[in-house]
Amino acid sequence: MVNTVDQTTESSMRHVIYDRFGERDVLQVVSSEIPVPQAGQVLIRVRGAGLNPIDWKTRKGLGFAARQIEDSLPWTPGYDVAGEVVAVADDVTTLAPGDRVMGMIGFPATGGSYAEFAVAGADELAIVPEELDLVTAGALPLAALTAWQALFEVAKLEPGQKILIHAGAGGVGHFAVQFALERGAHVIATASASNRDFLAELGVHEVIDYHSSDVAEECYGLDVVLDLIGGKAGKRSLHTLGEHGVLVTIPTVTADEIISAAEGLGLRAHGMTVRPDVFHLDEIAELIEDGDVKVHIERAFPLEQVADAHELLEGGHVRGKLVLDCG
């Protein structure tokens, strides 16, 4: 049995699929039946579905998520979702039809948020603060959770520590700088000159233009580096760490080489993969409710323009987040 918010006449929905790995032209918008929530699940009318770098990498067949789904194509991408609950399975007692929710769903093998409706585990979802519209909320979970877990679980950032955050104006970066500032850290961020004012408005103490400056010459004795770029930038940043400092690198492709380079220098570096965590999402929602953290949306796209959204996403110079407006 399923409890619903109303007797809707809708029986089909539009959603994005790809039936093979490839360039943006593999993305299609198709119609299918609206799914029915199974035990422990709810059905969400999707308003916002966030876009993340893992989305285009997986679409191209790259990375660990692609290995998870290669035998399940056609597949609907998207892990970030926000919307209203429209139906719940009988065994779900924590959420009810009408609740405004957000979450990182179906990670890594199920996905499904690039759609007008999506099913999700009730335990994957947090309540959206009234201050946040649902399209914007859809851009939050994966990037915010990545920043939160990197800073506070892996790096164990403490008040008063000095931290360098690479790509501070990006999706994960703009959350990370705000979380670090809220924790009472001294925050240095790398960015292009065009993002200097944006980061200054967020409260960043120092902005380093990566086009014209070398972080290893500008910074020393740091407690934490959050490396959102990887490769040469990650390895170069090891030279900014203090004796007891730690570097957390997010791109999985170059994590091993950066960790090896750190060991060669007698320093600490860790890679990490984000995981869904509704308790962390609740804490982040509280910061948004209190006005301490803001979600910056560079652009919202309708579902039909998903290929254009992926083009901008792949360019790698998005300020804040991109989101699909599925409402």
Q: Which of 124, 159, 135, 160 is nearest to 274 (CA)?
A: 124
Confidence grade of residue 10 (pLDDT, cut at 50, 70, 90)? confident
Confidence grade of residue 194 (pLDDT, cut at 50, 70, 90)? very high
Q: Which tens digits make up the pLDDT trace of 42-95?
A: 999 999 999 999 999 999 999 899 999 999 999 999 999 999 999 999 999 999
Q: Token digits for 180? A: 């670090």
| Contact by Cβ (8 Å): 118, 81 | yes
Q: Which tens digits make up the pLDDT trace of 258-267?
A: 999 999 999 9
* 9 has a pLDDT exceeding 70: no
Interval 224-242 mean pLDDT: 97
Q: Which tens digits make up the pLDDT trace of 277-327?
A: 999 999 999 999 999 999 999 999 999 999 999 999 999 999 999 999 998
SS3 category, 115: strand
* 3 has a pLDDT exceeding 80: no
What global pTM score does this model have? Answer: 0.96
What percent of the chain is predicted at pLDDT more than 90? 95
Alpha-carbon gap, residue 188 to 304, rounded angstroms: 38
Mean pLDDT (the chain, rounded): 96
pLDDT at 4: 62
pLDDT at 7: 40
SS3 category, 220: coil
| Contact by Cβ (8 Å): 103, 125 | yes
Q: Which of 51, 283, 251 is nearest to 145 (CA)?
A: 283
With b for 16 or more beta-carbon neighbours within 10 A and e for fewer, the 101-117 pattern comes to bbbbbbbbebbbbbbbb
276 cis-preceded (ω within 30 degrees of 0): no
What percent of the chain is predicted at pLDDT more than 70? 97
* 25 has a pLDDT exceeding 90: yes
108 cis-preceded (ω within 30 degrees of 0): yes
Q: Token digits for 197? A: 């004012």
| Contact by Cβ (8 Å): 177, 207 | no
